[in-house]
């Protein structure tokens, strides 16, 4: 018996009856020989961590566009916080931590530069061809097609399902996917409050007491209380749940954040500039198709897809820094040397 098989035996002995088992995976599109050390979900986690799209998350906006402080979250730190919360919940509920971690690490791989402002812009541009743009679907496209020069990462069905269905209204097929879906909300609501307080946009006292009396009076207490509530509400059940009062308070705070931070003119004042920059880059590459990297041109020829989709892939993969750099190179004249 090899190490992988011993791990699989431990899963069968320890995990909840509702947990996903590595041995029961619906598999990959391209069959592969099993690893003698790692389970199938462990292999997926490793592939995501080592892919280029994951590394680029460190230079993509979460909420505060290109912040000048070291302690504001960006897409990478958001992903790590989601992963930590999700693993805590999965472990307590005796679910498959490796599957949970793989989904959490991969859930935002398709996010655009400049956060949801970039996503809205690409959605507008790709709606012209009836396609639209949604970062969860783009994350799936990343792992299925864009990584490894069009070969993708060949992940298991369960990981892809969790990545695709991490949105608020989505319905993951596994409890591990459900854990990541709620952990995403727990993470961004709480760390965005923390960042907004750090930025001077909010004070703790500004948060409505009707919510903080249920959730807690600090970021630490809110995280602790919400996570405990998910665990106690879901333990031994075939669904990931919250108590009615905790769910109402958490989503009430989320609504408060949308009104006072996510739509705040001070916080979002630079977003229109970022969107216009991405629009100009998109138009440039549509007119100068041959200047795209070869891997994107080859993918277009191989998949026979519209140029708009491939240009969207390229723009979505950019970091904030790279998009700004390309804009400067293409549109800002250099002084004579």
- Answer yes or no: is 318 within a domain: yes
Query: Is 151 found in the same domain as 170?
Result: yes
Q: Which of 138-152, 188-202, 262-276 has the lowest mean pLDDT?
A: 262-276
The range of the structural domain enclosing residue 290 comes to 271-331
State pLDDT tens for residues 8-62: 999 999 999 999 999 999 999 999 999 999 999 999 999 999 999 999 999 998 8
Q: How many domains does the chain have?
A: 2
User: Percent of the chain scored above 70 by pLDDT?
Assistant: 98
Residue 224 neighbours by CB distance under 10 Å: 13
- Answer yes or no: is 215 within a domain: yes
Domain boundary at 211, 230, 262, which? 262
Q: What is the CATH number of the domain that holds 223?
A: 1.10.3210.10
Residues 313, 317, 318: CA angle, nearest 5 degrees? 125
Specify the pTM. 0.96
Residue at token pair 């948060």: 207
Rounded-to-integer distance, Cα 280 and Cα 314, Å: 13
Query: Is 200 found in the same domain as 89?
Result: yes
Beta bridge partners, 211, equal: none
Query: Is 129 found in the same domain as 99?
Result: yes
Nearest to 78 by CA among 166, 181, 177, 184: 184
Alpha helices in 31-96 (DSSP H): 40-49, 52-56, 75-92
Nearest to 99 by CA among 18, 44, 178: 44
Question: Which residues 6+ apart lie within 8 Å of 10 measured at CB?
Answer: none
Domain boundary at 262, 294, 320, which? 262
**Backbone phi and psi for residue 61, each to the nearest 5 degrees, phi listed first:** -65, 140
Domain boundary at 234, 262, 290, which? 262
- Answer yes or no: is 325 within a domain: yes
- Answer yes or no: is 312 within a domain: yes
Look at residue 264 and tell me whether its pLDDT is greater than 80: no
What's the whole-number mean pLDDT along residues 304-330? 95
Beta bridge partners, 198, equal: none
- Answer yes or no: is 25 within a domain: no
Helix (H) or strand (E) holding 100: helix 97-106
């Amino acid at each position: 018996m090899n190490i992988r098989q011993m791990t699989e035996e431990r899963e069968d002995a320890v995990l909840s009856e509702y947990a996903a088992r590595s041995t029961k995976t619906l598999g990959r599109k391209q069959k592969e020989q099993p690893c003698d050390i790692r389970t199938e979900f462990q292999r997926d986690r490793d592939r995501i961590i080592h892919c280029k799209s994951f590394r680029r998350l460190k230079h993509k906006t979460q909420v505060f566009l290109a912040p000048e402080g070291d302690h504001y979250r960006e897409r990478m730190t958001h992903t790590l916080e989601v992963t930590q919360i999700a693993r805590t919940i999965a472990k307590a509920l005796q679910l498959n931590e490796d599957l949970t971690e793989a989904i959490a690490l991969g859930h935002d791989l398709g996010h655009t530069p400049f956060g949801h402002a970039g996503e809205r812009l690409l959605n507008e541009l790709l709606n012209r061809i009836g396609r639209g743009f949604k970062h969860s679907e783009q994350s799936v496209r990343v792992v299925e097609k864009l990584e490894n020069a069009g070969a993708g990462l060949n992940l298991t069905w369960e990981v892809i399902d969790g990545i695709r269905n991490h949105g608020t209204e989505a319905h993951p097929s596994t409890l591990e996917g459900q854990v990541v879906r709620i952990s995403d909300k727990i993470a961004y609501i709480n760390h965005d409050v923390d960042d907004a307080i750090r930025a001077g946009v909010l004070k703790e006292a500004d948060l409505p007491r009707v919510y903080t009396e249920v959730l807690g009076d600090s970021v630490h207490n809110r995280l602790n209380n919400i996570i405990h509530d998910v665990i106690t509400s879901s333990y031994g059940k075939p669904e990931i749940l919250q108590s009615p009062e905790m769910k109402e308070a958490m989503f009430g705070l989320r609504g408060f954040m949308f009104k006072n931070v996510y739509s705040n003119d001070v916080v979002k004042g630079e977003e229109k500039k970022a969107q216009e920059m991405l629009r100009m880059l998109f138009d440039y590459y549509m007119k100068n198709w041959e200047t795209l990297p070869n891997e994107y041109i080859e993918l277009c020829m191989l998949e026979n897809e519209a140029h708009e989709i491939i240009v969207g892939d390229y723009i979505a993969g950019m970091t904030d820094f790279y998009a700004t750099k390309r804009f400067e190179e293409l549109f800002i004249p250099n002084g004579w040397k």
